[in-house]
Amino acid sequence: MGENKQRMLAGDWYLPDDPELAADSERRSRLCAAYNAEGGDPPAARDAVLAELLGSVGPGVRIRPPFRCDFGYHIRIGEGTFVNFGAVFLDVAPITIGAHCQFGPDVQLLTPSHDLDARRRREGWERGDPITVGDNVWLGGGVIVCPGVTIGDATVVGAGAVVTRDLPAGVLAVGNPARVIRTLT
């Protein structure tokens, strides 16, 4: 494994313009294209593509295409989770999704971060911070989850919210940035 990939996997600053990472991205591109093909394969064949693309997929996981990701192998999804159309999971760092979650359309889980220094951004440096979504979480349509965020079990995030920091278990959060407005029973 090359140095840039090792640095990426460790959550350190790395340069994504790397032949090994480009090959991983090409693999992802091929698998996403197969998964997202209109009127394509029967469900069992699509499930096999998803299992090859992602790090792990629990039983009963359903992801409606189109689905996009950076690499796929950093994504783990627990059983019975449903992800609606248009999801984007940028997985330069691990994305862990619990069991029995529901994601509305156009949800984005974004692990990459870029340097605030303009010179380093021009040079292409980036890093990733993991995202963790607990069990039984509902993310409404268009929710964006930023790098390094953990969302606790049984939390609901309202449509269009931007989650910039951790949310505890069992709350309703809305807005930009997302804020807790009440505890759920």
d(CA 106, CA 142): 5
Q: Which residues are catalytic?
A: 114
Q: How many CB atoms lie within 10 A of CB 35?
A: 22
| Helix (H/G/I), strand (E/B), else coil: 61 | coil
* Residue 14: partners with Cβ closer than 8 Å, 6 or more residues away: 4, 5, 7, 8, 125, 126, 127
Structure-block tokens of residue 65:
């295409």
- Bridge-partner residues for 103, per DSSP? 83, 139
Query: Which residues fall within 8 angstroms of residue 108, CB to CB, at 6 or more apart?
Result: 87, 88, 89, 90, 143, 144, 145
